[in-house]
A and B are shown apart, each in its own frame.
Chain A
Amino acid sequence: MARNPRFPLYLGDDEVVSLQRRITEIALAALARQLGLLIGAGFSFEARGLPLGSHLAVALAEDLGYPEISARRLADTYGLSVIAEQYGRVVTGKRQQLVDTVSRMLTTSGDGSQVENDLKAIVSNCDISRIFTTNYDSLIETALGDQRSATIAETASALTKFEHDIRRKEFTGVFHIHGTTTNPVITETDLQKPRSIFFEELRHELLSRVFVMVGYSFRDESITDVFESIYELLKKTREERKTFLVSPIEEEFEYRFAKQYWEDRCDVCLIPMGAGAFFAEFLEQLHTVGSVKPIDEISVKIRSSPADVKERLKRLCDDVPDLALDDMAEIARRFLAVRTP
């Protein structure tokens, strides 16, 4: 039985099947225009190799004159906001130098990646009008295209215009809740200022939609920071909502720990995947969501995973273009059901 390579090897087959079912749930919610998205640095890292928060911290520490090993140690110990704070104090020109450095490190160039294409396809299929992100870079906007999306400024008028725009046309606003490369919320001082007004939008999305957070590592400051501000809300509403955290976790022990942690803390379901693998799996589910029931039946009958069954059916469909996946699934299901066991 072929294993779906998008899931970590330490997961059992049953766990993979269970997670795929959760992704199918997300896909169904997305098709019903009920999906909320929060995207982290993992997306930009996988798409174009842009530095994660920890990498930024190391780079800033190196800029301050520390050798690499020391810079890593400092970054691990103190985190990005503290190092950025120091950077702002020590370097002449302070704030602007910091902003320029961050901006330079997060500039993208070259052709789009598969991760970006998949994100654009998801947004295209599901009419997602809001994407929240803690990233400073504008890779999400680049991926979606400047006609299809825009960075929403943190002003009341920009919000009003955005509301007007999404009523008028299919469009996606990208909400940078930690600012952008021109004005990042990065230092300790920045973080102590009043929260972005986008948090109200985020709260609303969290409550009213199936909410997915993609591209975060467990230790990511930004996600823990977001959670600090919405934790109470998550606790109060645990039974009424569905929230997923998609995070690449290499080690099984870490996964088991984190899974329990997020479940107990605020009933968040952990999906141990990188952003690219998740978007690819999600997109596949979007396109095949109609054939879920027969595929499930077949997989029970032949004792194989739904993913494996789907793969076999897709190969069959390649040869017969007049049959969609759900048609082929139906044929196979009926063939299997004819003979008595």
Chain B
Amino acid sequence: MTGPILGRAVAENIIRLAFGLSRCWENADYRKKRDEYGILDQEVDKFALLQVGVVDHAARKFGPHVQFTETSLAYLPGRHGHGLGLRGRPGLGPQYVCDIVANIQAAFPSSGPMLFSIRDGRGPWRLFEPMLRITEWDRWVTDGTKYRYLESKVVGDMASLVHRFETGQIIALGRHISPEFTSKAMRWLFDDLRDSYELSIDNMDRPVGSWWHYLSQAHEDGLELSKKAGPDRRLYHEARRAIIQATEDSEAKAAVLECRPDDEEIWESVKVSTLIPACKALASFVEVVWSAVQVGAKLKRIPLPKNCRLADEAEDTLRSARKDWEQSPASDGIDIPVDCLLEARYGECRVALRREFRLLWEALFPPA
């Protein structure tokens, strides 16, 4: 398959996404619930996942003669769940649609923002403000194949349905596709959490700066796991119910409901429900370790890299994390060396931290 056919397809997929988001952004309600500078990158990625599902399902309903733009990107695993993108070069993680757009736009800055105006957020995230206007939409609708009109209707209708949602609802609805996907995302996070945690332990006899990043990654994984285990379900349910209750009767609505099953089907499935205790336990364990390191660093006046929570919050977090952990069934027989961490005796804690984590892991995932 030679020639730029893949490039053409990828471009069309991303342009379709940009138009979908631009229809949302035109709505004041949608903008009110978000940062004035744009849409969170995570939401862009998960919106893309939802749009792919909706367009594919709608296309099937119209019949085999109708050809919408084939999605020539891939669902690639990641910290925040699967995302739509392409694989990066060896050593580089997946290049999600946000990364592809940001990199191409950065490569040609003089032309001005092509699809989005992109700003750095007040943290390790970006904000995407859709720049496509109604004139460009009208042109897009009439350009392309004869099925573009149908496709654009689905895109537009989908935007109408979701523009009333919060960021968290779109993220939840986007990233949970099926029990298989959710369980796979959870397993990916388990492995990533374990690998990051162990890397931090391996380096704990060195200065904090050399392992803090790994511990933070493990902590982020833990946060994601706890979201998937709990709040995501509520957000997903709310969003889906809102769609069911929506008065408009469109192909997009039917497609959303088809490509996103009832939350029970996902969270009550054997594949997912059996993993939820592990999600909570691991998240809780790492939260205790992470916040204890912060508090200990504060007490011993050890500087931590930027982007840490303020020390005050860390003490509160540690308090509630310890409470959660002690109440968790997984804590039985596991003894996190908190005191050692509070005294910043990191090198000494290593053995215990490794041992206790392994005990937890083996309890959660007994060898076959």
A binds B: yes
Q: Is there a chain A Cβ closer than 8 Å to B100's Cβ?
A: yes
Partner of B139, one of A290, A324, A336, A340: A340
Question: B86 to A322, Cβ gap below 8 A?
Answer: yes
Question: A323 to B107, Cβ gap below 8 A?
Answer: no
- Give the docked Cα–Cα distance between A43 and B139 (Å): 54
- Give the docked Cα–Cα distance between A101 and B9 (Å): 63
Task: Select the stretch in B10-18, B192-200, B252-260, B359-367 that faces chain A.
Answer: B10-18
Partner of B8, one of A313, A330, A336: A330
- Give the docked Cα–Cα distance between A339 and B15 (Å): 11
Contacts of A326 in B (CB 8 A): 3-4, 7
Q: Can you name the residue of chain B whose Cβ is closest to the Cβ of A312?
A: B107
Contacts of B86 in A (CB 8 A): 320, 322-323
Q: What per-residue 1/0 map shows which CB atoms of A315-341 lie under 8 Å from chain B? A: 110111111101111111111101110
- Give the docked Cα–Cα distance between A327 and B6 (Å): 6
Most buried by B among A301, A318, A331: A331
- Give the docked Cα–Cα distance between A303 and B111 (Å): 9
- Give the docked Cα–Cα distance between A333 and B10 (Å): 12
Contacts of A322 in B (CB 8 A): 6, 86-87
Question: B108 to A312, Cβ gap below 8 A?
Answer: yes
> Given contacts A320-B86, A330-B4, A331-B10, is CB(A338)–CB(B15) below 8 Å?
yes
**Cβ distance B129 to chain A, nearest Cβ, rounded Å:** 14
**Cβ distance A236 to chain B, nearest Cβ, rounded Å:** 40
Q: Is there a chain B Cβ closer than 8 Å to A291's Cβ?
A: yes
- Give the docked Cα–Cα distance between A333 and B110 (Å): 14
- Give the docked Cα–Cα distance between A104 and B104 (Å): 55
Contacts of A315 in B (CB 8 A): 107
Main secondary structure of the interface of B (DSSP, over half): helix
Q: Is there a chain A Cβ closer than 8 Å to B147's Cβ?
A: no
Within 8 A of A (CB), among B94-153: 95, 100-101, 103-105, 107-108, 110-112, 114-115, 131-132, 135-136, 139-140
Q: What per-residue 1/0 map shows which CB atoms of A296-309 lie under 8 Å from chain B? A: 00100111100000
Contacts of A335 in B (CB 8 A): 11, 14-15, 101, 104-105, 114-115
Question: A320 to B95, Cβ gap below 8 A?
Answer: yes
Question: A294 to B4, Cβ gap below 8 A?
Answer: yes
Within 8 A of B (CB), among A231-249: none
- Give the docked Cα–Cα distance between A339 and B112 (Å): 10
Question: B104 to A331, Cβ gap below 8 A?
Answer: yes
Question: B104 to A332, Cβ gap below 8 A?
Answer: yes
Q: Is there a chain A Cβ closer than 8 Å to B306's Cβ?
A: no
Q: Can you name the residue of chain B whose Cβ is closest to the Cβ of A331?
A: B11
Q: How many residues of A contact B (CB 8 A)?
A: 33
Q: Is there a chain A Cβ closer than 8 Å to B28's Cβ?
A: no
- Give the docked Cα–Cα distance between A335 and B107 (Å): 12
Q: Is there a chain A Cβ closer than 8 Å to B303's Cβ?
A: no
- Give the docked Cα–Cα distance between A318 and B139 (Å): 33
Q: Is there a chain A Cβ closer than 8 Å to B88's Cβ?
A: yes
Within 8 A of A (CB), among B15-49: 15, 18
Question: B10 to A323, Cβ gap below 8 A?
Answer: yes
Question: B10 to A339, Cβ gap below 8 A?
Answer: no
Question: A290 to B3, Cβ gap below 8 A?
Answer: yes
Question: B111 to A302, Cβ gap below 8 A?
Answer: yes
Contacts of B131 in A (CB 8 A): 339
Q: How many residues of B contact A (CB 8 A)?
A: 36
Q: Can you name the residue of chain B whose Cβ is closest to the Cβ of A301?
A: B111
- Give the docked Cα–Cα distance between A338 and B131 (Å): 10
**Cβ distance A61 to chain B, nearest Cβ, rounded Å:** 56
> Given contacts A322-B87, A331-B10, A338-B140, is CB(A316)–CB(B4) below 8 Å?
no
**Cβ distance B344 to chain A, nearest Cβ, rounded Å:** 39
- Give the docked Cα–Cα distance between A329 and B107 (Å): 12
Contacts of B100 in A (CB 8 A): 320, 331
Contacts of B104 in A (CB 8 A): 316, 328, 331-332, 335
Q: Can you name the residue of chain B whose Cβ is closest to the Cβ of A327?
A: B7
- Give the docked Cα–Cα distance between A339 and B136 (Å): 6
- Give the docked Cα–Cα distance between A91 and B10 (Å): 73
Most buried by B among A294, A319, A334, A339: A339
Question: A328 to B7, Cβ gap below 8 A?
Answer: yes
Question: A316 to B11, Cβ gap below 8 A?
Answer: no
Question: A302 to B110, Cβ gap below 8 A?
Answer: yes
Q: What per-residue 1/0 map shows which CB atoms of A79-93 lie under 8 Å from chain B? A: 000000000000000
> Given contacts A318-B89, A331-B104, A332-B107, is CB(A338)–CB(B6) below 8 Å?
no
- Give the docked Cα–Cα distance between A302 and B105 (Å): 12
Q: Is there a chain A Cβ closer than 8 Å to B368's Cβ?
A: no
- Give the docked Cα–Cα distance between A340 and B107 (Å): 20
Contacts of A290 in B (CB 8 A): 2-4
- Give the docked Cα–Cα distance between A302 and B109 (Å): 9
> Given contacts A312-B108, A315-B107, A331-B104, is CB(A321)–CB(B89) below 8 Å?
yes
Partner of A323, one of B7, B114, B136: B7
Contacts of A304 in B (CB 8 A): 110
Question: B10 to A327, Cβ gap below 8 A?
Answer: yes
- Give the docked Cα–Cα distance between A324 and B10 (Å): 12
**Cβ distance B112 to chain A, nearest Cβ, rounded Å:** 8
Question: B103 to A338, Cβ gap below 8 A?
Answer: no
Partner of A316, one of B8, B103, B112, B136: B103
- Give the docked Cα–Cα distance between A341 and B139 (Å): 13
Question: A331 to B7, Cβ gap below 8 A?
Answer: yes
Contacts of A312 in B (CB 8 A): 107-108
Q: Can you name the residue of chain B whose Cβ is closest to the Cβ of A298?
A: B108
Contacts of B136 in A (CB 8 A): 338-340
Question: B88 to A320, Cβ gap below 8 A?
Answer: yes
Q: Can you name the residue of chain A whose Cβ is closest to the Cβ of B73?
A: A322
Please list 10 pairs of residues, one from A and one from B, whose beta carbons are closer than 8 Å in the complex, sorted by A's number.
A298-B108, A315-B107, A316-B107, A319-B92, A319-B95, A321-B88, A327-B4, A331-B10, A335-B114, A339-B132
Given contacts A291-B4, A301-B111, A329-B4, 14 further A-B contacts (CB under 8 A): A290-B4, A302-B108, A302-B110, A316-B107, A319-B89, A319-B103, A322-B6, A322-B86, A327-B4, A332-B107, A334-B11, A335-B101, A338-B115, A339-B114
The 9 closest A-B pairs by CB, nearest first: A327-B7, A330-B7, A330-B4, A334-B11, A326-B4, A335-B114, A331-B11, A312-B107, A327-B4
